[in-house]
Amino acid sequence: MAEHFSRFEAAGPQVVELAPPWNLARGLSITFDVRLTALPSGTWRTLFHRPVARGDARALGLWVFPDAPRLRAQAFHERGPEWVDSEAVQLDVWTPIAVIADARWLRVYRAGKVEDAVRLPRALLPAFGPLHVLPSPAPDVALRDLRVYDHPIDEPAIRALSAR
């Protein structure tokens, strides 16, 4: 399978049109490095999200917990959300993260190792429009080397990206 992905740096709020567009029936992968520079402030902070429809609050995305330095990836199917959570992310350290979805599973990896996985009971709702990266001010969160693949990458690829 050819590598089809979008890669970009995120220094602040961005709206990114993805090429190629996502086909969630085929799956997807999102890999990046994250750095948290402060403990949570009591509110959810969005790293990125892509809504399922214009004006719809449901989204495929990743957030920082309001009360712990952990991440939550979430996706929706026709009956509601499914999510996976990372373990605590060390402050002031770039940490490689991968969120992988295929027809049956949603997984989150940290430093090349799976940390959480949930079986998807139904197909994911299609995502709509651009990817919103760091959409709200979050000076204590930074992303780098954000890559969005149009297919689920395998564990050797996840480990290789984590080791760079």
| Other beta carbons within 10 Å of 45 | 20
Q: Label residue 1 by pLDDT band (50, 70, 90).
A: very low
| Greater pLDDT, 106 or 78 | 106
User: Which one is predicted more confidently, 118 or 104?
Assistant: 118
Total domains present in the chain:
1
- pLDDT class for 2, splitting at 50, 70, 90? very low
Domain membership flag for residue 9: no
Is residue 10 domain-resident? no
68-99 per-position pLDDT tens digit: 999 999 988 778 888 999 999 999 999 999 99
Percent of the chain whose predicted confidence (pLDDT) is above 90? 35
The 10 Å CB-count burial string (b at 16+, else e) for 125-154 is bebbeebbbbbeebebbbbeebbbbbbbbe
Those residues with Cβ within 8 angstroms of residue 125's Cβ, 6 or more apart along the chain or in another chain: 24, 52, 58, 75, 76, 77, 78
Instruction: Quote the domain boundaries for residue 136.
Output: 19-163
How confident is the model over 92-120, as a mean pLDDT?
A: 92
* pLDDT given at position 13: 67
Q: What is the CATH number of the domain that holds 153?
A: 2.60.120.200
Residue 56 lies in a domain: yes
Domain presence at residue 37? yes
How high is the pLDDT of residue 21? 60
pLDDT at 56 over 90: no
> Per-residue confidence at 137, pLDDT binned at 50, 70, 90?
low
- State the pLDDT at residue 86: 94
What is the model's pLDDT at position 31? 92
